Every structure is written in C-alpha cells, then in structure tokens.
Amino acid sequence: MPPYKQPIPVHVTSEIGTLKRVIIHSPDSGLGKVVPSKAQDWLFEDIVHLDTMRKGEYDYYIKILLYFLDPEKVKGKIKEIDAAANQRNFYKPEHPDYFNSDKVIDPQYLLADILEVTDVKMRLIASICAVERCSYTTQGQLMEMEPKELSKTLISGTLPDKSMIFAPIPNFIFTRDIGIVINDHVLLNKPAKIARTREALLTQYIFYNHPLFADLREKIIELPESEHHFLLPDGEKDNKLVTLEGGDVMMVSANHLLIGCSERTSPYAANQVIKVLFEKNVVEKVTVIWIPKKRDYMHIDTIFTQVKKDVWVLLGTLSKKGEELEKRDVMESLMDGKVTDKLKIVQFIKDKDKPVHFEYLEDLLDDISKHDLQSGKKTRFIYSGNNEFPFGVREQWTDSCNLLAVKEGVVIGYDRNDKTVEAFRNTGFDVICAADLLHAFESGHLSPQTMENTLILLPSAELSRARGGSHCMSMPLFREKI
Ligand SMILES: NC(=[NH2+])NCCC[C@H](N)C(=O)O
C-alpha cells in the first residue's frame, strides 16, 4: 500500500505540543463565487480576491506548515515550486504535481480517494443531492464523474464546465470547525449554520471511509440529537438543539477539555459531549465557557488561544483586565461604550457532584497552565491590541487571538494586527513575516527545530475577511505530548 493509504496515528493532548499532522483545506474556487447578496448567509462579511488569497497569503501558510511537518516536500525547492511556469500546481490537490503530503492533508484529496469506491460514491452523492435538493438528472451526472473532478465539484458546487449546481462551502478552509481530536478520539461536529452542513457530511464520510482512519472507526464520536427531538413543538426545539463546532472545543491537556457555549455551540450539545466523554473515560475534566452569542465571538477560539504552557493570547474586554480597566475609569467606558460582557465559566469533574466556578477567563487559563500543564512559571497574558482602546476589539475581529501553535511558543498569526504584534514583542517574542522566514529556512539561517518564542506573521488582507485565523484553518490530527 502507498503511505497515503495506511492508517495513521491520531492523537492530540494539547494545544501546543509539536504539531505532526494536520488537516487543512486550500481556498477552492467556491470562495471566488461568493456574491454580496449571499455573503452574510454564507458567513462572510465581504467579497474576497481569490487569487491574492491563494498566491499572496494561503500558499505561505502551506509552505510554512510543510517546513515544520514535512520538510522534504519544500526544503530547497521553494523557488521552483513558485516559478510562474509551474502555475501553482504544487498547491492543487487534483494535479499530478500536488505536494501530496500525509502530514499536511487536504480533505479534497481524501474525498477523491473515497469516491473511488462505488458504494461510497453513490451514498455520498445521494446524501448531498438530498441536502442540496438536486434533481435526479444531476445525481446521474455526478455519478458519471471521475473521483478527482467529483471531489472538486462536491466542495466548490461547480461542474468542470463551470456551471454551478449548488452553493459553495467557502468556510471549508476553516477545518478546525469540522471535527476535533480529543486524545485518541475524534468528535465530529454538528454545525449550527446551514451554510456549513455539507462540510459536516463530507467530513463524516471521510472519517468513516478513508483508509488513513481505519484504526479510528471505533473512536469516532457523533453527537446524538435529543430523544424524540422531531416531536418537539417549534418553541421548545431551541433549548434542545444539538449544535457544536470545533472552534468551540479545545484540548488543553490530556485530562481536560474546554467547550464554549456560543452562537454556534448549544448548551445541550456541551451536555451531550460531557456525558459521552465521561462515559468513555476520554477525559476527566470538562470546562464550559459561556460567551456572548455575537457574530464577533462566534467560537471561543476567536477570544483566546494558547501560545506556550505559561502564555496565552486573549481579548481583554471579556476578561479580568477588561473589568479592571472599567473600574478604574468609569467615564472612559461611558464615553466609548466599552462594556464587559461577563463570561460564565463552570468546570465539571468526573464523579464529582459539585462543579467548580471560575470568575474570570484569566483564572481558568492560569489554573490550566499551573495545574494541568505544570508550567512552574507565572502565567503571562498577551492582550489583543495590547488592550488599548479601540485596538483590542478591532484586532480581535481580524483574529489577533486566533493563533496556531506549530510547536510550544512558535505560533502563526496575521500580519495586520499591529498592536497585538507589539504586545508579543514586549513579552519577549521574536516576530518574523512568512516570506522572511521562508528565506531564512531556505538559506539555512533558521530551522524549525531550533526556533522558539516566535510569532510568524501571515499576510492577511483577504484571509481575514473570511473571519477566521490560523487556528480556525487547522484541524490537528497529531501533536507530540508536552
Ligand atoms: N474556529 C473558528 N473561529 N472558525 C471561524 C469560522 C469563520 C466562518 N466564516 C464562519 O463564520 O463560520
């Protein structure tokens, strides 16, 4: 069997252990089909320029991930890969020159693999056509397609002749939200928004059918709906909704999972997750964080992420810091409308009746650093926008708090969040932009193994308009233990 077909280990016990395998999805043509009248429904606030997003931004993300996770694919080859004559073929999952890594994995590639099996192909086409309300003729047409082309079509919604048969799924680049690895289990998502339904369906088929995940089948967790949910009158349905997206789930240490209750993840789903995980003995502790149901904070990973055992980046206005500032200067808050939306944080421990309450986000994060991760150091907090009004909220909106750790202390973020970058520098971090980092890797001045305490800046004018950062654009499958 070629390496891509052998089962791979799947295991994540933290947010910061050295990243070894990850699922990402390069912006497909569907992102270039978003129209203003649909942008809100499809969860975009703006129209992105696809070419710039790919060449000028996302391709850097891929090269950096490959340098850290699968260096042979890129080391010494960057010039060649990006030569105009090669037309970005290295980045196209359907092309023979595709980088084809089993460490940095695109679901489009996996989907093409599983569509080789006729039974899977038939069932998936039927399911998608039911959801997308396609005609019987369209189903037949899809059945005739080659797996690689079909995979592209099922994602982008566009046939090879460029006609559109259903809506794109432009948020598929945010692979964080499709599923989450919790120790050696994977929890599949139940998206809250219709725009993300097809992503969940494709992911379900990939995890249940691709040979890479053959050893994982018994460990896939799907959340059941509440019993007899279909009998509930409309008014009562809301309380029993089971919706959950990966941006609200964080594996902070082997025994401890965080779940956000947000615009996207319902309390009922959080309850189901806790039940299943405790029953299966997957974790001992689950902390639920209620955040305001607002577009700006769609998931908890838009409010905070982890950088090192003892360092976190977070939004000040929702934290202790925010409240301290408010108390200090009432007038300022009256003038600028800065209001602290208080979070509610409750921790459940297996076999203990009484949950533990945390007043502030910093208290919880400090507890994780000191007790779960044994950092042995004073916990440090880096605030979005350096906590200066109005930069904290401005930069949070462009994902200053949504960083992906490729190893402990080395994180990828966006280049546009100047004040947050300044805050990183003040905390002793090096800051380097993606292009300079690649030069330094190619010339041998830096190496992924020796780098530490660094914020890597990704160009982000287009990517940030899709409302997600590098944390959202990654679904870690394997991280080394810390
Ligand atoms: N984990 C995340 N924060 N994901 C961001 C998803 C952004 C996407 N446009 C949406 O609204 O769904």
Residue-range domains of the chain with CATH: 3-479 (3.75.10.10)
Q: Which atom of ligand 1 lies at the shortest distance from residue 193's CA?
A: 12
The pLDDT mean for the chain works out to: 94
Strands (E), 337-437: 344-349, 356-358, 380-383, 404-407, 410-414, 430-433
Residues 6+ away with beta carbon under 8 Å from 174:
247, 466, 468, 472, 473
Strands 19-23, 475-479: parallel, antiparallel or unpaired by DSSP? Answer: antiparallel
For ligand 1, atom 6: residue with the closest CA: 468
Residues 19, 476: Cα–Cα separation, whole Å: 7
The reported pLDDT for the residue numbered 316 is 94
Find the mean pLDDT for residues 415-441: 98
Is pLDDT above 90 for 5?
A: no
Is pLDDT above 50 for 97?
A: yes
Residue 379 CB neighbours (<10 A): 19
To test the pocket of ligand 1, the residue of 23, 41, 47, 174 to mutate (highest count of ligand atoms within 8 Å of its CB) is 174
The reported pLDDT for the residue numbered 337 is 47
The DSSP annotation for 78-121 comes to HHHHT-GGGTTGGG-TTSTT----SSEE-HHHHHHHHTTSHHHH
What are the strands of the beta sheet with 220-221, ordered from one edge? Answer: 179-182, 185-188, 220-221
The reported pLDDT for the residue numbered 241 is 87
The reported pLDDT for the residue numbered 1 is 45
Q: Phi and psi of 117, rounded to 5°?
A: -90, 120
To test the pocket of ligand 1, the residue of 169, 472, 474 to mutate (highest count of ligand atoms within 8 Å of its CB) is 472
- Closest to 48 (Cα-Cα) out of 416, 465, 459: 465
| Under 8 Å between Cβ of 78 and 438 | yes
Chain-centroid distance of CA 21 in Å reads 14
Strands 19-23, 104-105: parallel, antiparallel or unpaired by DSSP? Answer: parallel
The reported pLDDT for the residue numbered 235 is 72
Write the pLDDT tens digit of every residue in 434-458. Answer: 999 999 999 999 999 999 999 999 9
Is pLDDT above 70 for 3?
A: no
Torsion angle in degrees (nearest 10) through CA of 157, 159, 160, 163:
-100
Per-residue HEC secondary structure of 288-310 comes to EEECCCCHHHCCHHHCEEEEECC
Write the pLDDT tens digit of every residue in 248-270. Answer: 999 999 999 999 999 999 999 99
- Distance from residue 80's CA to the centre of ligand 1 (Å): 33
Write the pLDDT tens digit of every residue in 114-153. Answer: 999 999 999 999 999 999 999 999 999 999 999 999 999 9
| Under 8 Å between Cβ of 323 and 385 | no
Q: Which atom of ligand 1 lies at the shortest distance from residue 247's CA?
A: 1
Torsion angle in degrees (nearest 10) through CA of 43, 46, 51, 53:
-70
| Under 8 Å between Cβ of 307 and 377 | no
For ligand 1, atom 10: residue with the closest CA: 43
**In the 8-state DSSP scheme, what is residue 360?**
S
Distances (CA, A) of 382 to 159, 185, 373: 46, 31, 18
Torsion angle in degrees (nearest 10) through CA of 280, 281, 286, 292:
-20
Is pLDDT above 60 for 391?
A: yes
Is pLDDT above 90 for 229?
A: no
Q: Which atom of ligand 1 lies at the shortest distance from residue 466's CA?
A: 9
- Distance from residue 472's CA to the centre of ligand 1 (Å): 7
Residues 354, 347: Cα–Cα separation, whole Å: 9
For ligand 1, atom 11: residue with the closest CA: 43
Find the mean pLDDT for residues 69-90: 98
Point out the least confidently predicted range of 34-43, 126-135, 219-228, 235-244.
Answer: 235-244
Residue 274 CB neighbours (<10 A): 18
Write the pLDDT tens digit of every residue in 179-211. Answer: 999 999 999 999 999 999 999 999 999 999 999
- Closest to 373 (Cα-Cα) out of 299, 311, 316: 311
Ligand 1: does its nearest atom lie under 6 Å from the Cβ of 291? no
To test the pocket of ligand 1, the residue of 15, 23, 24, 171 to mutate (highest count of ligand atoms within 8 Å of its CB) is 171
Dihedral (CA of 37, 42, 43, 49) sign: negative
- The rounded radius of gyration (Å) of the Cα atoms in the chain is 22
Q: What angle do CA 82, 474, 148 make, to 5 degrees?
A: 60
Residues 472, 173: Cα–Cα separation, whole Å: 8
Write the pLDDT tens digit of every residue in 326-382. Answer: 665 555 555 554 545 679 999 999 999 999 999 999 999 999 999 999 999 999 999
Residues 13, 21: Cα–Cα separation, whole Å: 13
Instruction: Name the 3-class secondary structure at 220.
Output: strand
| Under 8 Å between Cβ of 472 and 406 | no
Is pLDDT above 50 for 84?
A: yes
To test the pocket of ligand 1, the residue of 38, 172, 176, 177 to mutate (highest count of ligand atoms within 8 Å of its CB) is 177
| Under 8 Å between Cβ of 382 and 427 | yes
Tokens found for residue 328: 């200090």
- What is the widest separation between alpha-carbon atoms in the chain? 68
The reported pLDDT for the residue numbered 321 is 78
Q: What angle do CA 152, 157, 159 make, to 5 degrees?
A: 70
- Distance from residue 179's CA to the centre of ligand 1 (Å): 13
Distances (CA, A) of 424 to 49, 283, 385: 29, 32, 10
Tell me the helix, strand and coil percentages in the chain, rounded to 5.
Answer: 45, 20, 35
Q: What angle do CA 179, 393, 43 make, to 5 degrees?
A: 40
Cα first-last separation, the chain: 32
- Distance from residue 265's CA to the centre of ligand 1 (Å): 12
The reported pLDDT for the residue numbered 231 is 80
